[in-house]
Amino acid sequence: MRYKFIISGGGTGGHIYPAVAIANELKNRFPDAEFLFVGAKDRMEMEKVPQAGYKIEGLWISGLQRSLSLQNLAFPLKLVSSLLKSQKILKKFKPDVAIGTGGYASAPLLRMASLRKTPCLIQEQNSHAGITNKWLSGKVQKICVAYEGMAQFFPSEKVKLTGNPVRQDLLDISSKRAEAVSFFRLKKDKKTLLVLGGSLGARTINQLIEKCMPFFEKNNLQLIWQCGKYYEEKYKSKSTETVQVHAFLNRMDLAYAAADFIISRAGALSVSELCLVGKPVVFIPSPNVAEDHQTKNAMAISKKDAAILINESDLDSSFENEFYELIVSKEKQKTLSENIKKLAKPNATKDIVEEIEKLLKQKN
């Protein structure tokens, strides 16, 4: 039988990457299956999904602004328009299963799919459920989650702990250490700190790294500093023999393999990757994310003694002391590494697709 899958997730890479990873795994299992993505018209999925080789249709939809805004006046109109267009797309495409990975467009699409009695599955990447997925949870058959304790947001009988889809090239980074040292031209007598602020960059993290450069040097550390494309011009002059400044890193597997310590934001997919990587991590969550997801993600890891969490507001008072305690304590490094590895879910994509297969069997 030739199956048809409709998939919606977007707004950020954190929703798009899992959607594409799930589609790729479904394609492996059902090579003649048909796929259609549905996204929000002006968001990055309209570019990223076709780059991954899939067709996409756009809805006229956006989120409600948390502040009083004129954009909110158009929201009811956008929602009605998106519900009607979703209905039209579903009627024409006739999917066997509808899959949502979060983001504005998945709300109208999966709501209409559930009304048509199409089996629906959603995937929640964060430790604190997003508005869209909470709203859909009563209407879907299965909810795949990345953290324990998600029954506080969703009906417990629908919840399956699978983890988040992650890059498969991170599964065996320990064997890539020598290649990584050579690739980044690192000095073998120094420990390496990897700094990750996301593809656009994180202003507060960049300011911290600039300020702490004498501290890192004093402690014999070399840096691979991913400053983001917004900040490349500002920081590229900071490159030295022991500090490499990159707008972004094309070989994340080698960057992780080279690192002895990592400073990172706490987006859902970054956290899942870092669990797999198993290195000592300092999370500095972005406070400017919807529902403060990043702080909640980082807390879910740090409370298991699997990472260090420092809020942006505490960096000036705490960072150097906490980081120094980490780099001088082999025991602390070992504890964090072992505990974060225990939280890894390397088979997440396969496990999510197995849940989709169960829905197909129930349908037939």
> In this structure, are residues 64 and 43 in contact, taking their beta carbons and an 8 Å threshold?
no
Q: Which residues of 94-118 are buried (b: 16+ CB within 10 A; e: fewer)?
A: ebbbbbbbbbbbbbbbbbbbbeeeb
> What pLDDT, on the 0 to 100 scale, is given for residue 73?
66
In degrees and rounded to multiples of 5, residue 43 shows phi and psi of -105, 170
Cα–Cα distance, 231 to 268 (Å, whole number): 23
In degrees and rounded to multiples of 5, residue 122 shows phi and psi of -120, 155
> What pLDDT, on the 0 to 100 scale, is given for residue 168?
81
Cα–Cα distance, 166 to 221 (Å, whole number): 28
> What pLDDT, on the 0 to 100 scale, is given for residue 131?
86
Cα–Cα distance, 97 to 121 (Å, whole number): 8
pLDDT tens profile 222-266: 999 999 888 989 999 998 999 999 998 989 999 999 999 999 999
pLDDT tens profile 196-207: 987 667 899 999
In sequence order, what are the residues at sequence separation of 6 or more whose Cβ sits closer than 8 angstroms to the Cβ of residue 303? none
**Mean of the per-residue pLDDT values of the chain:** 92
Tell me how far the alpha carbon of residue 59 is from its chain's centroid.
23
Q: Length of the chain, please?
A: 364
> What pLDDT, on the 0 to 100 scale, is given for residue 68?
54
> In this structure, are residues 92 and 73 in contact, taking their beta carbons and an 8 Å threshold?
no
Residue 278: pLDDT over 90 = yes
Residue 69: pLDDT over 70 = no
Cα–Cα distance, 364 to 353 (Å, whole number): 17
Residue 70: pLDDT over 70 = no
Which of 134, 125, 90, 132 has its CA nearest to residue 107? 132
**Average pLDDT of the residues in 156-176:** 92
Cα–Cα distance, 36 to 54 (Å, whole number): 7
Cα–Cα distance, 297 to 280 (Å, whole number): 16
Residue 72: pLDDT over 70 = no
> What pLDDT, on the 0 to 100 scale, is given for residue 26?
97
CA distances from 311 to 33, 316, 336, 349 (A): 45, 10, 18, 31
Residue 165: pLDDT over 60 = yes
**Average pLDDT of the residues in 217-221:** 96
- 3-state SS, one letter per residue, for the chain: CCCEEEEECCCCHHHHHHHHHHHHHHHHHCCCCEEEEEEECCCCHHHHHHHCCCCEEEECCCCCCCCCCHHHHHHHHHHHHHHHHHHHHHHHHCCCEEEECCCCCHHHHHHHHHHCCCCEEEEECCCCCCHHHHHHCCCCCEEEECCCCHHHCCCHHHEEECCCCCCHHHCCHHHHHHHHHHHCCCCCCCEEEEEECCCCCCHHHHHHHHHHHHHHHHCCEEEEEECCHHHHHHHHHHCCCCEEEECCCCCHHHHHHHCCEEEECCCHHHHHHHHHHCCCEEECCCCCCHHHHHHHHHHHHHCCCCCEECCHHHHHHHHHHHHHHHHHCHHHHHHHHHHHHHCCCCCHHHHHHHHHHHHHHHHC
Provide the token pair at 34.
Answer: 């048909």
**Average pLDDT of the residues in 304-318:** 96
Tell me how far the alpha carbon of residue 144 is from its chain's centroid.
14
User: With pLDDT > 90 as the criterion, what percentage of the chain qualifies?
Assistant: 79
User: With pLDDT > 70 as the criterion, what percentage of the chain qualifies?
Assistant: 96
Determine the residue type at 72: N
Domains of the chain in sequence order: 4-165+346-363 (3.40.50.2000), 169-342 (3.40.50.2000)
> Is pTM beyond 0.85 here?
yes
